Structure 1
């Protein structure tokens, strides 16, 4: 499937995911203001860690290994390897999450303790989200873009319907938060029979050891990634809440959450197309040409989109949030440059994962998660909430230059190997 077709299906699924995300944001913002938005960030950070530890960490490795193998017996061995790893990860993730919840309850403030029940319910639903994510990553490796897009769209439709209906019947922002993982949980039970049928068939085929080792490498990267970003956001949010106010942490969370929702439009298209595409490519020169072509296209689209967002920022805040979030308007100027460099960096990041450069990506993830926290704390001390947003942009400018240089080195090595 070419990039145009991939983009068409990916845009359809992503528009629905964006719509679902914005509906939830609007409900939470209108019912509980910046404080509720801050709590939404806490719940979603914990959910993200769990969905990754529960199997999402393997997603990129699954896609790469399936895409780079012929449709033969070894491919089925990869699926059986996935089943073996998935079962172990589910047990480990559940144990870790129980420990984290206990620590959060005893070590966190009273406000966070009140979130425990909401977090637990969300985590139960997120378990099924992880199973769907694994299945979708396999479809991506098989280039079944239409099917995986359909599952994403279906989950988003369920989220929109559930959150909207509950808003009118029982207006509680916590129900809107739960509707996000609930959409994927419903999809899991729809595809459960197909998953079980495939697993029963693959169980008769020997595990592909090389694929298992490769997926485990991606899983290690996934673990680090799943811990670094949500944890850094939790630290920054908590620092803002303690140093300034919970209201200001909610304003910061609103800006971050808005960026996350609209950026998924581009990141989804890149991950669905670039990783399986580059996994199949052997010539380093062709890879380099493809990646730089993407950088050009993504740059133009991003600049146009961000100019439109900045021009309409006041209307966006009123439509997606409410008047209590009007302070966000002044922060867009400092947030959007970071979003731009983040998107361009993703082109290199997904390409490096397609090349199998997992260890270097892992190191970058750790380093720039730490610099993000340090720069944000320094920024908050000097400029308040604006300082955290400025730190976000500075961090991604530095990340862009670092990953661009490393990509050039890695693709050069790939070129030598292929000759």
Structure 2
């Protein structure tokens, strides 16, 4: 058992690192070919793709994993559920596609100031059918606890997707970059289909079961709260930033944000794979609080060291991962790293709500975090112009961390009172 766990952990780590490096490779190619201004405009499509990849098919992959694990030993129930989930996913994708096709012109004008990007928006909206299938498969794979199969999907899919990226960006510029980003995600179609065929014989039927639909709808609501908050907030901030300092300034912010996401994703992967399952299994209030506090201290210590290393080696880091022409003022980078520090701290505490399936608390947390960011940006940009976006990032994450820590203290007090 220990050997299997170790192999699964190694496979998961390799998959996450591969996915991270492929994402950074695309970013590097775009900076080389399109410059910092290109990164600024591409940022909107990055947010659209992150929204679609999470919400494609209704955002039910976590729900699929839950109920596949629950019905695993009952073939009849599993078949009925998968047919209902397949129907739900397909219908949700159709609705989403109609929204993107119908709203492409308005979205292009709103985000970029003209309609020339509406075809790309339609393309992205149709690509989510592939994302929905991938989400369906990974939900089944995770529900069956096939960690190595999931890792193979991520690793092989990322490598398949990255192969044509340089040609696409160099030949077709921004349009090619959008297609490249889609392929990095859609590359998982091939290994996903293969892994699903090895695990189960799926013969999906189109069926509507109110009970299963209601269960899956709850997961759609949770995912909708995620995709309707921070990604949309970032799109709003990027548009305002382009108005204040131009697309090059917005591109500088976008480049730094993507590097932050890459660093944060490694820590979030650890929290998802190791921390949250352990937290979910704990029932004693004192042990839960103790585990959260210990993990918080360890993660902040490691991340703090990594952040200081990035700051002092910033010239080398940015020249390797972006370009030698990329520059960000040291004080602005400090704000970004401070924001990342408190953001990962808030994640550690916030995973407690996820582990205990506190849906309302999760939704409220997403809204509060996004609200802090918007308010901080409006104030800081008014006082400091384009520099304000970095100040707002640090300030909003610090405030949200304080809210999360206060929530943890309240939870600890309530559980200790219940135990006495």
Which stretch has the larger CA shift, 260-269 or 99-108? Answer: 99-108
Does structure 1 conserve the Cα–Cα contact (< 8 Å) formed by 2:350 and 2:404?
A: yes
Does structure 1 conserve the Cα–Cα contact (< 8 Å) formed by 2:104 and 2:119?
A: no
Q: Which residue of 2 aligns with 1:98?
A: 101
1:14 matches 2:30: no
Question: Which of these residues, 23, 26, 40, is aligned with residue 24 of structure 1?
Answer: 26
Q: Which residue of 2 aligns with 1:290?
A: 291
Q: Which residue of 2 aligns with 1:247?
A: 248
TM-score (norm 1): 0.86
**Residues 364-387 of structure 1, C-alpha deviation per residue, up to 9 Å, x if partnerless?**
211221221121121112122221
Query: Could you tell me how far apart the structure 1 residues matched to 2:172 and 2:205 are?
Result: 46
Are residues 323 and 193 of structure 1, via their aligned partners in 2, closer, same or farther at CA, if it must alter by over 3 Å?
Answer: closer
Does structure 1 conserve the Cα–Cα contact (< 8 Å) formed by 2:96 and 2:125?
A: no
Partner of 2:327, secondary structure, is helix
Question: Which of these residues, 145, 149, 152, is aligned with residue 150 of structure 1?
Answer: 152
**Residues 29-86 of structure 1, C-alpha deviation per residue, up to 9 Å, x if partnerless?**
111212101111111112222223323632334445556x374226666544533431
Partner of 2:187, secondary structure, is helix
Which stretch has the larger CA shift, 221-230 or 136-145? Answer: 136-145
Does structure 2 conserve the Cα–Cα contact (< 8 Å) formed by 1:317 and 1:328?
A: no
Query: Could you tell me how far apart the structure 2 residues matched to 1:4 and 1:194 are?
Result: 21
Q: Which residue of 1 aligns with 2:271?
A: 270
Partner of 1:114, secondary structure, is coil
Q: Which residue of 2 aligns with 1:188?
A: 189
CA RMSD of aligned residues (A): 3.3
**Residues 186-239 of structure 1, C-alpha deviation per residue, up to 9 Å, x if partnerless?**
321443366478474576999693x65444223212112101111111111111
Instruction: State the shift of 1:400 in Å.
Output: 1.6
Does structure 1 conserve the Cα–Cα contact (< 8 Å) formed by 2:97 and 2:125?
A: no
Matched residue pairs, number?
A: 415
1:162 matches 2:148: no
1:223 matches 2:224: yes
Query: Could you tell me how far apart the structure 2 residues matched to 1:415 and 1:201 are?
Result: 50
Q: Which residue of 2 aligns with 1:260?
A: 261
Instruction: State the shift of 1:360 in Å.
Output: 1.1
| Bigger relative CO (Cα 8 Å, ≥ 6 apart) | 1
Query: Could you tell me how far apart the structure 2 residues matched to 1:413 and 1:83 are?
Result: 41
Q: Which residue of 2 aligns with 1:40?
A: 42
Question: Which of these residues, 59, 62, 87, is aligned with residue 60 of structure 1?
Answer: 62
Query: Could you tell me how far apart the structure 1 residues matched to 2:167 and 2:326 are?
Result: 24
Are residues 417 and 133 of structure 1, via their aligned partners in 2, closer, same or farther at CA, if it must alter by over 3 Å?
Answer: farther
